[in-house]
Structure 1
Amino acid sequence: MTKPSSPDTSPELYDRTAHDYDAVLVVSFGGPEGPDDVMPFLENVLRGLKLPPPAIKGIARRYEAFGGVSPINAQTREFIAALEKELDANGIDLPVYWGNRNWHPFLPDTLETMREDGIERAIAYVTSTFSSYSGCRRYREDLYAATHDLDNAPVIDKLRYGYNHPGFITAVTERVRDAFAEIPAERQDPATLVFTAHSLPNSMAEKAPYEAQIREAAALVCEALGREKWELAYQSNNASYGEPWLEPRIEDVLAERAQQGVTDIVVVPIGFVCDHMEVVLDLDVDAQKIA
Structure 2
Amino acid sequence: MSRSFDALLVLSFGGPEGPEQVMPFLENVTRGRGIPPERLATVAEHYLHFDGVSPINGINRALIDEIRAELVERGEQLPVYFGNRNWHPLIEDTVAAMTSDGVARAAVFATSAWGGYSGCAQYQEDIVRARAAVGEGAPELVKLRQFFDHPLLVAMFADAVAEAVATLPESLRAEARLVFTAHSIPLRAADRCGPDLYGRQVHYAAGLIAAATGYDDYDVVWQSRSGPPQVPWLEPDVAEHLSTLAASGTKAVAVCPVGFVSDHIEVVWDLDNELAEQADKLGIVLARASTPNAQRRFAQLILDLVDEVRDGREPMRVIGAQPVPGYGSSVDGSFCTPACEVSARPSAGSQ
Query: 2:154 aligned with 1:169, yes or no?
Result: yes
Q: Find 1:137's aligned residue among 88, 104, 121.
A: 121
Quote the residue 2:83 is aligned against.
99
Report the equivalent of 1:247.
235
Structure 1: tracts of 5 or more residues without a match: 1-16
Q: Give the whole-Å Cα distance in 2 for the aligned partners of 1:38 and 1:125.
A: 25
Deviations 1:43-85 (A, max 9, x none): 1101111011211222222221221111111111111111111
**1:268 matched to 2:253:** no
Counterpart of 1:59 in structure 2 is: 43
Q: How far apart are the structure 2 equivalents of 1:75 and 1:91?
A: 24
Read off the aligned partner of 1:141 and give its amino acid letter: E
SS in 2 for 1:32: coil
Q: Is the 8 A contact 2:35 2:227 kept in 1?
A: no
- In structure 2, the partner of 1:154 is 139
Distance, in Å, in 1 between the alignment partners of 2:80 and 2:278 is 41
Which residue of 1 is the match for residue 216 of structure 2?
228
Which of 171, 184, 188 is the equivalent residue of 1:203? 188
In 2, the alpha carbon distance for the partners of 1:61 and 1:184 equals 33
- Looking at structure 2, the residues matched to 241 and 188 of structure 1 have their Cα atoms a distance apart, in angstroms, of 36
Name which structure has the greater RCO, CA cutoff 8 Å, separation 6+.
Answer: 2
Distance 1:290 1:61 in 2: 19
1:9 counterpart residue number:
none
Q: Deviation of residue 188 (structure 1)? A: 2.1
Letter in 2 for 1:233: V
Report what 1:8 is aligned to: none
Identity over aligned residues, as a percent?
Answer: 43
How far apart in 2 are the matches of 1:224 and 1:64? 37
Amino acid at match of 1:257: L
2:266 paired residue among 255, 263, 278: 278
In 1, are the aligned partners of 2:12 and 2:83 still within 8 Å (CA)? Answer: yes
TM-score (norm: length of structure 2):
0.76
Q: Summarize the alignment of residues 26-45 of structure 1 with structure 2, pairs less than 5 Å apart.
A: 26-45=10-29
Which residue identity is paired with 2:142? D
Partner residue of 1:287?
275
**Matching residue's letter, 1:37:** Q
Alpha carbons of 1:259 and 1:34: their partners in 2 closer, same or farther (altered >3 Å)? Answer: same
Report the equivalent of 1:12.
none
Aligned length: 275
Q: Matches of 1:23 and 1:206 in 2, distance apart? A: 33
Out of 98, 103, 127, which is 2:111 matched to?
A: 127
* SS of equivalent residue, structure 2 residue 72: helix
Structure 2 distance, partners of 1:58, 1:191, is: 33
TM-score w.r.t. the length of structure 1 is 0.91
Following superposition, the deviation at residue 32 of structure 1 comes to 0.3
Report the Cα distance in structure 2 between the residues aligned to 1:187 and 1:37, rounded to whole angstroms: 43
Most deviating of 70-79 and 55-64: 55-64
Q: 1:224 deviation in Å?
A: 1.1
Shift of 1:167: 1.6
Deviations 1:133-170 (A, max 9, x none): 11110110010111122220111111011111112111
**What do residues 204-255 of structure 1 show as CA deviations (whole Å, max 9, x unaligned)?**
1133400100010000011111210110110011242741000000001111
C-alpha distance in structure 2 between counterparts of 1:279 and 1:79, whole Å: 18
> 2:145 is matched by which residue type in structure 1?
R
Aligned to 1:25: 9
> Which amino acid in structure 2 is aligned with residue 188 of structure 1?
R
CA distance in 2, matches of 1:241, 1:123: 39
Mean Cα deviation higher: 54-63 or 180-189: 180-189
Give unmatched runs, 5+ long, in structure 2: 280-351
Q: Could you give the per-residue CA deviations for residues 178-203 of structure 1, whole angstroms, max 9, x where no partner exists?
A: 11222244432211000000000011
Task: Name 2:330's counterpart in structure 1.
Answer: none
